[in-house]
Amino acid sequence: MNGAEAVTAALADTGIDTVFMNPGTTEIGLVQAIANNPSIRGILTLFEGVASGAADGFARVAGYPAATLLHLGPGLANATANFHNARRAASPVVSLVGEHARAHLPFDPPLASDIAALAGIHSKSTETVATSSQAYAATVRAFHAATSAPKGVATVVIPSDLADKPAQPDRSEPAKTSGLTPSSESLHRAAAALAARGAVIIAGGDALRRPAVSKLAALSSHGARILAETFPAAHDRGGELPQISRLPYLPEQALALLQEASEVILIGARHPVSFFKYEGVPSLLTPPSCPVIELVPPGVPCLEAIEALAELAGLDRGAPTAGSREALPEPGDSPLDATGLAVAVANAIQAGTVFVDEANTGGVALQGPTGSSPEHTWLTVPGGSIGEGIPLAAGAALARPDHRVVALVADGSSLYTIQGLWTIAREELPVTVVILNNLRYAILQFEAARRHPMNDRVRSLTSLDPPRISYRKLAEGFGVRAEVAMTPLELLHHLKAAEASAMPMLIEAQLF
């Protein structure tokens, strides 16, 4: 066994079976070790940001880590935007990064950089392997760092010369991952807040997954309002699950929703903060006089805390709370807009579908109608770094290959990682990518108009036309079948056709 084989043995022994990679010369030894290990599946991507985003999507859906393999510091830098999203989503990922041979580094070769500093932007831990025999233990430590609460990204840097050297790894039983439990004081404060009525619970993390959602919603019987954080990592919803609305993105709307709260209880969610600073609008979205109780920090398991809170509040911890459902409207044949998009998508959802929501302004109407669809899982981009929609879908599909994954992606966002379509085609993943094409960066035009009246020069600098991009041709160039939808009925037809197929499809949805 050499150092690279020790790394892959550690991945297999900790249960990591998928590696998303964009390797270079320094990682060839690791590529060979992955290729020769029958317990690990290597997934090639054309860009490091696809690898990091796919690992994020895999971890959110599978509930356990994937790994990435990246080429030196510049490759890690290319992956950082979606590692930022993974960090904000508390997704466990083991990031393997190649390094120059140790004897070569003193000569400052062109690709040399401070990998540890780059990794520190998003990683819980970073360790550079010192000897080939330490490669196994370093990888195991990264796994435990990634999966211990709060979960996140852990990085292992592997010099290329050590990958090829013989290794005698210590494969003793690794330490167990650790968790965090809420303090008795915070539990009793939260129970008292519920008893006093008027509290608002903001939930994130696994408080929005199926085992916890009904128990969380039952707390509303004490008069508490239950909200999901604005961009949850993963939210199980629809079917018989209770409907839990998301805190609005616009700070004025969030402030209005929270202004009457007597106390705010955070369960797996961060303190709500405006995405950006606006004149006359506070950064913190809770009223200044409103106490905030952090029952469970982000990235920490929530179910036991919810059950303990329900017991303290005098609720039957086994009693589920079912949601009420409204009949879905029928899609029409008028030009496609945000409302028509939402209706078509809601009618297309099948039980078990995974949705990736990077729809941005095109998705403003999605939450209402889709809450009445069959049970499904909704993924968003918690870090706000756009360009993760297509990679998230690829990772989610590899984690749950028995269900369709549908990615709703804004036109501008899709172009950050459009090459993710190639990986989806190569792996024949059951993914439908819907590009919401409104020919502009609509969010920038909206934000510009909030400050000053729009003029033609600003409009031009936020427009994606001309030249007009053909997403259909781009998809076909990467090996993905493509269709165009101009009306809600056409979109529903294409979504159903994709559902009936095991192959990937892209739908260019023209928004008017």
pTM of this structure: 0.96
Instruction: Kindly state the percentage of the chain with pLDDT values over 90.
Output: 91
pLDDT value, residue 241? 96
pLDDT value, residue 173? 58
Buried b (16+ CB within 10 A) or exposed e, 479-498: ebbbbbbbbbbbbbbbbeeb
| Band of residue 36 on the pLDDT scale cut at 50, 70, 90 | very high
Helix residue ranges per DSSP H, 166-298: 184-196, 210-218, 251-258
- For 31-35, 95-99, 196-200, 326-330, which range has the lowest pLDDT when averaged over its residues? 326-330
Contact criterion met (CB below 8 Å) for 410 and 436 = yes
pLDDT in tens, 59-84: 999 999 999 999 999 999 999 999 99
pLDDT value, residue 238? 96
pLDDT value, residue 322? 55
**Over residues 301-311, mean pLDDT:** 95
More reliable by pLDDT, 155 or 324: 155
Specify the CATH number for 338-510; select among 3.40.50.970, 3.40.50.150, 3.30.70.20, 3.40.50.740.
Answer: 3.40.50.970
- For 110-114, 219-223, 384-388, which range has the lowest pLDDT when averaged over its residues? 219-223
pLDDT value, residue 326? 77
pLDDT value, residue 177? 62
| Band of residue 315 on the pLDDT scale cut at 50, 70, 90 | confident
Query: Is residue 295 predicted with pLDDT exceeding 60?
Result: yes
The radius of gyration of the chain from alpha carbons, rounded to an integer in Å, stands at: 23
The CATH T-level fold of domain 184-312 is Rossmann fold (3.40.50)
**Over residues 348-363, mean pLDDT:** 96
- For the chain, what are the domain ranges? 3-164, 184-312, 338-510
pLDDT value, residue 314? 86
Largest CA distance in the chain: 68
pLDDT value, residue 321? 53
| Band of residue 290 on the pLDDT scale cut at 50, 70, 90 | very high
More reliable by pLDDT, 453 or 58: 58
pLDDT in tens, 238-273: 999 999 999 999 999 999 999 999 999 999 999 999
pLDDT in tens, 151-203: 999 999 999 999 999 999 888 756 566 667 788 999 999 999 999 999 999 99
3-state secondary structure of 309: helix
pLDDT in tens, 402-450: 999 999 999 999 999 999 999 999 999 999 999 999 999 999 999 998 8
Query: Is residue 17 predicted with pLDDT exceeding 70?
Result: yes
Query: How far are the Cα atoms of 105, 288, 333 from residue 126, in angstroms, in the given order?
Result: 19, 38, 54
pLDDT, the chain, mean? 95
Q: What is the DSSP string of 418-477?
A: TTHHHHHHHTT--EEEEEEE-SB-HHHHHHHHHHS---HHHHHHTB--SSPP-HHHHHHH
Query: Is residue 1 predicted with pLDDT exceeding 70?
Result: yes
pLDDT value, residue 180? 75
**Over residues 338-365, mean pLDDT:** 97
pLDDT value, residue 425? 98
Q: How far is CA 30 from the centre of its chain?
A: 27
Instruction: Kindly state the percentage of the chain with pLDDT values over 70.
Output: 97
3-164 is classed in which CATH architecture? 3-Layer(aba) Sandwich (3.40)
Q: Residue 233 has which token pair?
A: 């990592």
Q: Which residue has 């929270």 as its token pair?
A: 258
pLDDT in tens, 102-127: 999 999 999 999 999 999 999 999 99
User: In which element (H, E) is residue 406 found?
Assistant: strand 405-410
pLDDT value, residue 95? 98
Please check whether the two domains, 184-312 and 338-510, share a CATH topology. Answer: yes
Query: Is residue 319 predicted with pLDDT exceeding 70?
Result: no
pLDDT value, residue 221? 85
Query: Is residue 132 predicted with pLDDT exceeding 90?
Result: yes
Query: Is residue 507 predicted with pLDDT exceeding 90?
Result: yes
pLDDT value, residue 451? 86
